[in-house]
Every structure is written in structure tokens, then in C-alpha cells.
Amino acid sequence: MLKHRTKSAKEPDFVQVIGAREHNLKIDEIAVPKRKLVVFTGPSGSGKSSLAFDTLYAEGQRRYIETLSAYARQFLGQLERPKVDHLRGLSPTIAIEQKSASSNPRSTVGTITEVYDYLRVLYAKLGDQHCPKCGKKVAAQGAQAITREILALPEGTSVTLYAPQATHRKGEYRELFEDLRARGFVRVRIDGKIERLEDVTALDKKKKHSIDLVIDRIVLKAEDRARIAEGVELGLREGKGELRVDTGKGEVLFSESRSCCGIAFPELSPQSFSFNSPLGMCPSCNGLGMRDEVDPALIIPDPSLSIRDGAIAPWATAMARGEGWTARIINGVAKAFGVNLDIPWKKIPKAKQHAILYGGGEERIAIRWGKEGSTSHGTWAMKYEGVVPNIERKFRETASDSARELYRRYLRERPCDACGGKRLRPESLFVLVAGKGITEITEKTIAEVAAHFESMVLPPSDRQISAGALLEIRSRLRFLLDVGLDYITLDRKATTLSGGEAQRIRLASQLGSELSGVMYVLDEPSIGLHARDNSHLIATLHRLRDLGNSVIVVEHDAETIMASDHVVDFGPGAGLLGGSVTFSGTPDELMASESLTGLYLSGKRRIEVPKDRRTPRAWLEVKGAREHNLRGIDVKIPVGVLTAVTGVSGAGKSSLVNGILLPALAHALHDSADPIGAHEAILGLDAFDKVIAIDQKPIGRTPRSNPGTYTKAFDMIREIFAELPDARARGYGAGRFSFNVKGGRCESCGGDGMVKVEMHFLADVYVPCSACDTKRYNAETLQVRFKGKSIHDVLESSIEECREHFQAFPALTRVLDKLVEVGLGYMKLGQQATTLSGGEAQRVKLSRELGKVQTGRTLYVLDEPTTGLHFDDIQKLLAVLQRLVDAGNTVVVIEHNLDVIKCADWLIDLGPEGGARGGTLLAEGTPEAVARVAASYTGRYLAPLLETRKARVKRAVRAENGAPVAGEA
């Protein structure tokens, strides 16, 4: 007998990358270890994402798609082969990128994690229905079960059986009474009073009546079982499945068809608990939980004004003009309600204020039309609907987008009155499992829900039914806890999640799949995490690795870098100056190297704490902030300094700054219609003349956008080219030098420089345009040159080169100087906006703000500006922020990065935890003051960074001598 031995090839231990040239990469060869935690780091724009996502992940996806049939491939988005010569040892790849979870307002944390799907199954199979009106348990019961329940009453109890005929309905009911008499029935109960049928002819048809047929009256005895059973069957038949039993101490409604208090309850199914299904959604808000309603506070922004001076914002224009139809209506309202148009709104009696805002009921007002004394004038009576109903009606009926935006400024999103923001219909809300409704579960944080399901006790039969659903729910909750999302509630909208939170949710789902042999590529998973919670994330990444996977993380966080197995450092600079591997090895080897990252990790280079903190010149006060989890706190924000709002994830930082402060100032200073979070008042607004939010969103959505177009530098360059002698001789204007306008651009490619060739079931191929050779302009336009460079040559030049080239034009060089100052001198002026990293996009926006004339009264708001930034980039960012403050402005940043926090002038620390356990003001003051607050996690991690250089040296010497170091475990 022959023995066949299969010799299996050993899986390679490295991914071999040879000749990587994607974007700015210049890598001849690199070996990335597999089944390890590998960190790609380096300055912003140095090529980390180009290798991780645009090369390794893209090629892994492309190779997987190529294994499918040609028929299947034509339905999938095909990926272009990355610019790499060879890739060996590549595993199947999964990317967990830094992007929002969903833009759908119906998506919640529960739905995207699938926890809610299993909850719906659990409630459909185990749920006990209760009546929303009376709260009693509703269940379908047969005649035998009802008989047993009646006989369980004490012997001698007087019982009356009724069969409902009509419940609170109008009518005479002549035919009903005649039919009942003809079939031999004797008594009925009409509106609570028992009467003989022979005495009843007809009822008042204008009134609502409740009619019950008297089936039997009996004093309970054991030998009367047959009589009771017969009466129950007759009552259910006559009552169409319902029977009322009066025991003398109260009535009980029994039903064969799940009904109570006139409500018929459907058979439970998972769709009964879906706010996306008509079977489960609240009919009033269609399952959204929120409705747009007119907010009187937005209609009356300043109660100290009179109506004539514009107290009622929608009437302000008409009052200023003093004539027109609206002005006539206002005068008619004032006369009808006895309102003085010249006294402050706050002094008008409340009843009259209510009449103006909500209408005067059936009362009509007199409207004068035409000029007094003319042949065509008179008075017209009309019903006044009120300011609020008028705006609601117009918003609902208008088909004009501009009109809707006009009315929307008076609307605020509020919880639906019918469901209280819970999204489900009442019949679904009153289904209980272990005494809890499904929304009582989803309103809890992940940590609270996990504790509930761990301690939940079910009957043996229910345990068997629910075993599968409970297993999935508990495992998903455990993985969410592992990635540090214990503070998030299941009903939180996916649109409110930060990029880091959404990424960690996807990371938790990958942990749940427990795949092995996969290459995971993650983009800065530490974003949005407080220093306290980093250890949870690192443990999760190690667990993913220990399952036999390769984990590649694009990251700048020092703790994550030091916890990795291997580090690849890119640089030495960014853009054209980057794209090379400056180091590849262990974290300890990196610290001993002279690479830029290694210098910062070893402490040879560091971001120093400012010697002096600025003193606030005034205060901006938020009173009674209670948006989301904020607990009615009062917060003072200093004017004229750099302020960092800190705290653990979910503590309420974004609710305070982005939910209340930013929209409130935008509304007051720029007449914005964005909804403002719940608060009592904001004081000190007069310290500012504008508010600007600078985020990391792309500067453009198409490849046609670039730093030149965003900063308007390219507009100036086109004007310069239009003034050249060659251009004037040919009659070329500035539009001739735009690749977005017909005339000067190459029409073969539409100014793109590339032509798309559709390959059907293969990936579309982009080839250089044969007419312009990627130069985007036609030959005639390219003949116009300034100092030897065509308009195309200028777009391909770096910003630093452009500054030298156009140094004779102060207005242009001023814009380019600002781009260089924020560290973007390496970038091409015409680099496509879609290829910019988040940090680069944010710095382009910052440069644009720096280029504007400074009034010294601007509030800048930045939400985690260090996202995607290397230590060296943070140094540059801080220099820009300090310059803004030095110009007299105020800068507020939401931040977890300790280097930024230690350099701020003032800290506002929220906490102590996230979600329901957060929302309080833990500490405020200088970083040194916050570092001394024992309850502050931020202070605890900040304290060692505030040491003086002398103290650090002393600390290092003590550590070398083996002495215990204060503050270290």
C-alpha cells in the first residue's frame, strides 16, 4: 500500500514589497513582517497611507476580486493595480479606515453593530405585551384558560360576564338591540348602567356610548364549572373574541386576539421593534424619533426689543419697511389683541404674547387695505393663525429650497411628542423582557447593557429559546467594551460618531469574526481616545495579532508605537521630500536611531512647555449647558488665550463646543440656522466679531480642487498670466488659464489631463491624454509663459518654488508665505485635493485664515487638530495656533494629545467618565492647576510632562540608579 505524503509550502514570514511608486513613494525594497503588530509612522504626507492603504490593501483587494468570475467582476468596483513592481507573501486584506459610520439618520450604534438586530429577535420571541393605556399584561387566552382563571377566584365571589358590543362610539343601535332581543338575551349594560333589553329602544346618536351584553351573573361554586365554561364560550363568541369579567372589585378584560382598552395587539415579530418598518415605527415621526418644530426662542432672539424694532425676527423686515401686506397684518393683530408695538416684548403680558405667536383661536382681525381717503380702500376680516403655525405651514408646503432654508432658521430639532424620541409605536414600547422594554435597553451605555445581560435571569424554557440571541448580544457587547466604547449608548445616532469611534466599532466587529491569517490595515485607531484608554485599544490590537493575523497600523501615538512588534518610519520629510523608509526595526532600535520619530520618542527632541501662560482679558460664559450628557454645567472660556477642552471619550467635550458654543456663536454673529444645543444662556458674545471652525474635512471633493484654488492663489496667478504681453496680444483673459473653463483647457480630456478607458469587467484604465500629454491645457494656452514657465509648469511646481517665482507680487507671495509657514512648502500648488491627508487639509485651511486681515476678535474652534499629525507636525501646528492667539484672537481646541494640552494657556476638563457618568466640570485653569486635581485623569497623565528640564534630568539619574521614581508604578 502506497502512502502519499503531501508536502505543504510554509507561509512566508514577510510581505516583500519591491519597487513601490504609488503617489510619492520611492521604496526599492522593504520586508513587512507578518503575524505581527506593525506600526507605520512618519510626518504627515510622508507616504504611510500610500504604502498601507493604496498599495498593500489595494493590491490585496484587487487580487481577491480577480479570483471571481468575469461575470461577477463586472458588478464590483474594480481597483486599479497600484504602482508596485512586486508584492510577495500578501494575505487577504481588510481595511478599517477612519471614516464616519453612516450618514443615514436612521442608523444607530445598535444597528451598525447588529446588537439591535439580535435584541429584536429576543423581544419578538420572549416579549410580554402590555397595554399602553392601562399597563396590564396582554395575552391571547382561550376559553379554557379564562375559565381556569375565573374558577381560581375565592368561592362565593359574585361574578358577572359581559360581552363587549361597542366601546365609546356614537349611534342609536336600534338594530343591535332588536337582534339581541330576538336571540333571547335579557340585559345589557349601557354606559355603566345595566338595563333590560325590553326597556331599551334607541340611544342618543350624538353621544358616544359603551355597550356590553350581560351573559351571566353567578356566585362562584365548584359545581358550577360547566355553567361558567359555557358562559365564557358564549361571551367570547358574542364579544368577537373579548370578554369582560366583573368580580365586584374591578373588571378584567380577556381576549382571544391580544386586545385591551380597545387596542388590538398584533402577533410579535422582529419587525415589530424596527423603527425602519411600518410595523414598528412611530407613525408620528416615521421612526426618526425627532421632529422639526418652531422654537419661540429663535423667533424672539432679543426680548428687550419692541415689535416695531424687530423683536419678532420673521416680521423684522416688514416692520423696518413700515408698509406692505405683512405690516398691515401686524397692525391688525396689535389692534385686535390690544398690543403696543413700541414696548419691549418682555413687557407684553404672557397671554398676549401667546396670542401673537400661536393665534387668537376663532377671533378675526381687521386688515385695512388701500390708502385712506382713496376710492379703493377698506377693511377685510381674517382669522389670524399666529407666527409659529404660519412658519410651520409654510415650511411644510413650500417647494422652494431657498424658502425652506429661510424658515429652517426658526426650527429646532426636538424629540417626537408621540414616542418621546424612542422611535417605536406604543404597542412595541410596552413589550417587556425581564421587566425591561427594548428602548430601556438601548438608552443604556454599552457597559450598562453588558451588565444587564450578564445578570438577567430567565425561566428555563425562555433560556433555551434565547440562547443563540443572547450569545451573540453578549459577545458583541464584550468586543465593544474591549475597544474602549463602554460610554456609548446603543441608541446613539451613527452620524454623531467621530471617525475614531466609528473605526473602533468596525474593529470590534472584526474581533467578533475571529478570522485568522488576515492582514488588517488600520488608520489611526487611537483618534478620539484619552491617554487613559489607550491600553484597552493596544490590548485589542494584540489580541487581533494573537489570532494569527498581520496587523498594520498607521499611527503617531507614542504608546502604540512602543507597544508594537515592528516599526516602519517614513520620511525624511513630506510630499516630494518624503516617500522613503528612514527606519525599519523594533521600537527600541527606533529610539536609538537618528530618524525624526526616534528623536522624539527618545526625548532628544521634544515639544517644550511655554515659559509663560497668557492671562485672559475677558470671559465667554456658557450657563446651564445640558446638551446630551452635560449636567447643566456653567463653563467659563477665557478670551485671548489658547484653551484646550479635555476629558475622556464621551465626557461631553463635543457637546459643549460643537453642540452649544459653535452654533450659538454662528447664529449670533453670522445668522446661521444650525441647531443649538440645550443651554440657558451665553454671556460675553460681544468679545467676538466672527467664529471660524477649522476641521480636517477635504478642501474639495473633486480632483479639480487643489491648494491653489482653495487659497485663491491660483486666481491671482491666472490674473498675472492674463496681463502678460503674449496673452494680451491674443486677447486671453484670466478664464483662458482655468482648466475648468472651455477655451484654454484641452477639450480631449476636459482639463483632467487623463482619459478614462472603460474595460467592462476589468478595472477602468486611466491613460495620459494624447492631445495634451497630461498638461490639461491646449497648445496655444501653454505658449504663454512667465519667466519661462507655462501655467501647467506653475501647477506642477512646489509652493516654495512658486513663492520664489512670483516674489514680485506681494499679494500672491503673502498667500504662499502662509502655506510655507504651516509646513506645506513641499506640496505642489496643483496637488489634487483628494490626495491630501487630513492634517494637510487642515493646515491649508489654517493658512487661508492666517492670510486674512486679523481683527483680533475672532474665535477659532478646532476639533482634534492633531489627527493625522506626527510629533514634528504638531510642533508646526502649535506654532500656527500660538500665532493666531498672539494676534489677539481666541483659540479653542478639543484635544486628547498631551503635547497640545500642556502648551495651552487654559484647560477645561470634563468627566469623570463618558456617557451618563460624564458631563460634569472636573477642573479648569492652567495645565499646572489641572495637574494637581486628583479626580482628573487628564491631570494625572499631564503632570509628568510639565516637569522642568532640570527635574527631568534629576528624574532620569534617579531611574538609572535604581531609585523609585514618583508617579511611576
Give the tens place of pLDDT for each residue, 168-217: 788 899 899 999 998 999 999 998 899 999 888 888 888 888 899 999 99
Contact assessment for residue 27 and residue 50, using Cβ atoms and an 8 Å cutoff: no
Q: Is the pLDDT of residue 677 over 90?
A: no
Q: Is residue 214 part of a domain?
A: yes
CB burial string 143-165: b at 16+ within 10 A, e below: beebbeebbeeeeeeebbbbbbb
Work out the pLDDT band at 79, boundaries 50, 70, 90.
low
Answer yes or no: do 736 and 815 share one domain. Answer: yes
Average pLDDT of the segment spanning 856-879: 87
Q: Which of 463, 479, 494 is the last residue of a domain?
A: 494
Specify the pLDDT at position 167: 80
Tell me if 22 is assigned to some domain. Answer: no
The conformation of residue 745, written as its DSSP 8-state character, comes to B
Quote the CA–CA distance of 33 and 35 in Å, as a whole number: 7
Out of 67-71, 238-242, 588-592, 740-744, least confident range: 67-71
* The pLDDT value given to residue 964: 45
In this prediction, residue 240 carries a pLDDT of: 86
**Weakest-pLDDT range from 58-72, 89-103, 717-731:** 89-103
Query: b/e string for 755-784 if b means 16 or more Cβ within 10 A?
Result: beeeeeeebeeeeebeebebbbbbeebbeb
Q: Cβ–Cβ contacts within 10 Å for residue 801, how many?
A: 17
Higher pLDDT, 359 or 643: 643
Highest mean pLDDT: which range of 389-393, 591-595, 862-866 = 591-595
- Please check whether residues 714 and 734 belong to one and the same domain: yes
Q: Do 223 and 83 belong to one domain? A: no
pLDDT in tens, 622-671: 999 998 889 999 999 999 999 999 998 888 998 999 999 998 998 888 87
**Co-location of 680 and 735 in the same domain:** no
CA dist., res. 56 & res. 519, Å (int): 9
Q: Band of the pLDDT at 338, cuts 50, 70, 90?
A: confident
Torsion of CA 179, 182, 184, 190, to 10 degrees: 40
pLDDT given for residue 892 in this prediction:
96
pLDDT category at 367 given cuts 50, 70, 90 is low
Q: What share of the chain is helix, strand, coil (3-state, %, to 5)?
A: 40, 20, 40
Strand, helix or coil at 20?
strand
Structure confidence at residue 75 (pLDDT):
65
∠ CA 55-842-919, rounded to 5°: 105
Looking at the structure, tell me whether residues 177 and 243 fall in a common domain: yes
CATH number, domain with residue 447: 1.20.1580.10
Q: Which three cell numbers stand for residue 896?
A: 486628547
Q: Is the pLDDT of residue 523 over 70?
A: yes
- Give the domain range for residue 745: 707-833
Q: Are 537 and 525 in contact (CB under 8 A)?
A: yes
Give yes or no: residues 807 and 711 share one domain.
yes
Say if residue 108 is in the same domain as residue 155. no
Amino acid at 607: I
Among 570, 602, 634, the domain-final residue is: 602
Q: Is 397 helix (H, G, I), strand (E, B) or coil?
A: helix
For the chain, how many structural domains are there in total?
Answer: 6
| Residue 485 lies inside a defined structural domain of this protein | yes
- Report yes or no on 885 lying in a domain: yes
The percent of residues in the chain predicted with pLDDT above 70, rounded, is 91
Query: Is pLDDT above 50 for 967?
Result: no
C-alpha cell at 110: 445598535
> Does the pLDDT of residue 969 top 60, yes or no?
no
In CATH, what number is assigned to the domain containing residue 573? Answer: 3.40.50.300
Q: Examine the domain organization and report whether 581 and 515 are in the same domain.
A: yes
Give the end of a domain, one of 380, 412, 444. 412
Structure confidence at residue 842 (pLDDT): 78
Q: What are phi and psi of 662, to 5 degrees?
A: -65, -50
pLDDT of residue 954: 59
At 325, the pLDDT band (50, 70, 90 cuts) reads: confident
User: Each residue of 933-950: pLDDT tens digit?
Assistant: 999 999 999 999 887 555
Same domain, 553 and 572: yes
Domain-located, residue 294: no
pLDDT-based confidence at 375, cuts 50/70/90? low
Task: Compute the average pLDDT of residues 289-317.
Answer: 86
The 10s digit of each residue's pLDDT in 556-574 is 999 999 999 999 999 898 7
Helix axes 534-546, 499-513, angle to 10 degrees: 30
How does pLDDT run across 252-277, given as a tens digit for each residue?
Answer: 778 777 766 656 677 788 999 999 88
User: CATH code at 405?
Assistant: 1.10.8.280
Q: Write down the pLDDT at residue 242.
A: 83
**Cα 720 to the center of its chain, rounded Å:** 44
- Asked whether residue 7 is assigned to any structural domain, the reply reads no
Residue 5 in domain: no
How confident is residue 4, by pLDDT bands cut at 50, 70 and 90? very low
Render 620-661 in DSSP notation, one character per residue: EEEEEE-STT--SEEEEEEESSEEEEE-STTSSHHHHIIIII
What phi and psi values does residue 517 have, to the nearest 5 degrees?
Answer: 80, 20
Does the pLDDT of residue 500 top 70, yes or no?
Answer: no
pLDDT category, 966, cuts 50, 70, 90? very low
- The residue assigned the cell 364560550 is 233
* 823-845 confidence digits (pLDDT tens): 788 888 998 887 776 667 878 88
**Cis before 105? omega within 30:** no
The 3-class secondary structure across 672-713, one letter per residue, is CCCCCCCCCEEECHHHCCEEEEECCCCCCCCCCCCHHHHCCH
pLDDT of residue 773: 85
Site of grid cell 398676549: 352
Residue 719 has pLDDT above 80, yes or no: yes
pLDDT in tens, 685-717: 999 999 998 877 778 777 788 999 999 999 999
H or E element, residue 259: strand 259-260
Q: What is the 3-state secondary structure (H, E, C) of 334-364?
A: HHHHCCCCCCEHHHCCHHHHHHHHHCCCCCE
User: pLDDT at residue 5 above 50?
Assistant: no
Instruction: Tell me whether residue 355 is in a domain.
Output: yes
Task: Kindly state whether residues 422 and 436 are assigned to the same domain.
Answer: yes
Strand partners for 610: none
When mean pLDDT is compared across 123-132, 183-192, 361-370, 505-514, the lowest value belongs to 361-370
Contact 834, 702 (CB under 8 A): yes
Per-residue model confidence as pLDDT tens digits over 740-759: 888 899 988 888 887 776 65
Residue 50 has pLDDT above 50, yes or no: yes
Residue 424 DSSP symbol: B
Tell which wins on pLDDT, 363 or 295: 295
Same domain assignment for residues 133 and 267: yes
Residue 908: its pLDDT value, please?
97
Give the amino acid at 409: R
> Which pLDDT band holds residue 102 (cuts at 50, 70, 90)?
low
pLDDT greater than 50 at residue 785? yes
Task: Compute the distance between CA of residue 522 and CA of residue 33 in angstroms, rounded to an integer.
Answer: 16
Q: Is the pLDDT of residue 607 over 70?
A: yes
Give the CATH number, domain containing residue 209: 3.30.190.20
Distance CA 321, CA 334 (A): 17
* pLDDT tier, 496 (very low <50, low <70, confident <90, very high otherwise): confident
When pLDDT is averaged across residues 301-313 and rounded to a whole number, the result is: 87
Same domain? For 160 and 247 the reply is yes
Please give the grid coordinates belonging to residue 281.
Answer: 415605527
